[in-house]
């Protein structure tokens, strides 16, 4: 039984339903996650290596002395990479989130809303996309697809994934 005194209602398709579990992540949030992931990798992996190279007293790669300090920096950088890789694999396999995506409360899912597997994210979103990146201007075109109505980059379309608010 409908209420004859209720206000009229209509379905509007171009407005995101906030109650829907699939609210596409904002373009700025996705960009921020990409930048933040790069900073996290840099801090965990490259900074120790650069500090070790700087402390070795060498400015040219050919004359870099592989003494105790650069070796220690290399090992710390490698350990940082292993820790970063482990944390990333665990997070992506559990929730479809990298460290930055977790911090910014967004995640990768299949286009139908189901969980995206680690293999799909790794092979299709990352490895295949990296291989295709040898094509000139692909990276720019891939990024510009974020401005489509679905907010899917080209690598999202290839992997049949979307990035949504968690």
Of the segments 46-55, 66-75, 116-125, which one has the largest average pLDDT value?
A: 116-125
Residue with tokens 């379309």: 157
pLDDT of residue 68: 61
Joined tokens for residue 89: 């694999």
Give the Cα separation of 113 and 92 in Å (integer). Answer: 15
How confident is the model at residue 20, as a pLDDT?
58
- Residues 101-140: tens digit of each pLDDT: 999 999 999 999 999 999 999 999 999 999 999 999 999 9
Residue 130, C-beta contacts closer than 8 angstroms, at least 6 positions apart: none
Residue 110 CA, chain-centre distance (Å), reads 15
Contacts (Cβ under 8 Å, ≥6 apart) of 97? 91, 106, 107, 108, 166
Q: Model pTM?
A: 0.76
> Three-class SS of residue 110?
strand
């Amino acid at each position: 039984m409908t209420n004859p005194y209720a206000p009229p209602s209509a379905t509007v398709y171009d407005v995101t339903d906030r109650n829907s579990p699939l609210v596409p992540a904002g373009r700025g949030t996705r960009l921020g996650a990409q930048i933040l992931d790069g900073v996290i990798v840099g801090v965990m992996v490259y900074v120790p290596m650069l500090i070790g190279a700087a402390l070795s007293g060498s400015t040219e790669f050919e004359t870099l002395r592989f003494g105790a300090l650069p070796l220690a920096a290399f090992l710390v950088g490698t350990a940082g990479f292993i820790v970063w890789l482990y944390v990333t694999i665990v997070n992506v396999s559990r929730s479809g989130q990298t460290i930055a995506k977790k911090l910014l409360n967004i995640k990768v899912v299949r286009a139908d809303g189901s969980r995206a597997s680690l293999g799909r994210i790794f092979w299709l979103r990352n490895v295949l996309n990296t291989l295709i990146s040898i094509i000139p201007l692909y990276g720019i075109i891939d990024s510009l697809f974020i401005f489509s109505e679905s907010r899917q980059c080209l690598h999202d379309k290839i992997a049949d994934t979307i990035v949504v608010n968690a």
